[in-house]
Amino acid sequence: MKARILVLNGPNLNLLGVRQPEVYGEYSYADVVDVCHRAAAARGAEAEVRQTNDEAELLEWIHDVVRDKNFSAIVINPAAWTHTSVALADALVIPEVPVIEVHLSNVHAREAFRHHSYVSPVASGVIAGFGIAGYGYAVDRAVDLS
């Protein structure tokens, strides 16, 4: 059975390349999507990539994984919700699929409030600080865990 990876992206990631390129890089969101699709295809898998600035929409996408049982793993860059959302952490355990947390920047080398993640304790792994290449690593690992 072909692995299907759901790649979720939180707030402001739609502005990659525009928002703080010195922190997040000069790549666009379209480049992130491309990296995910290429990484999945290289492993004979599929990746569906989504982004939202609405936390409720993100939670519904996670709930859909439970209802539809159509994805074998989740890769997520929760962005700011990493540090604020207990609801997101609670939702991520419901589908009972591997979860890989990914961040473009090294959150541990940044402001102190970014050092805490509500997602990390429910994730199978965390990849941070490798720019958009981190998405490729995350999709690859998600396929292994599927």
77 is in an annotated binding site: yes
Distance CA 50, CA 75 (A): 10
> How far is the CA of 84 from the CAs of 55, 76, 80, in angstroms?
11, 15, 7
DSSP result, 97-143 = S-EEEEESS-GGGS-GGGG--SSGGG-SEEEESSTTHHHHHHHHHHH
83 is in an annotated binding site: yes
19 is in an annotated binding site: no
85 is in an annotated binding site: no
53 is in an annotated binding site: no
- Is residue 24 annotated as a catalytic residue, yes or no? yes
- Is residue 27 annotated as a catalytic residue, yes or no? no
Q: Of 64, 129, 128, which Cα lies nearest the Cα of 97? A: 64
Q: Which two tokens stand for residue 20?
A: 């703080």
Largest alpha-carbon pair distance within the chain? 42
Selected catalytic residue, list 27, 29, 63, 103: 103
Q: Which two tokens stand for residue 79?
A: 């962005």
50 is in an annotated binding site: no
Selected catalytic residue, list 24, 29, 37, 63: 24
Q: Which residues are annotated as a binding site?
A: 77, 83, 90, 104-105, 114
Q: Which residues are annotated as a binding site for substrate?
A: 77, 83, 90, 104-105, 114
Active site residues: 24, 103
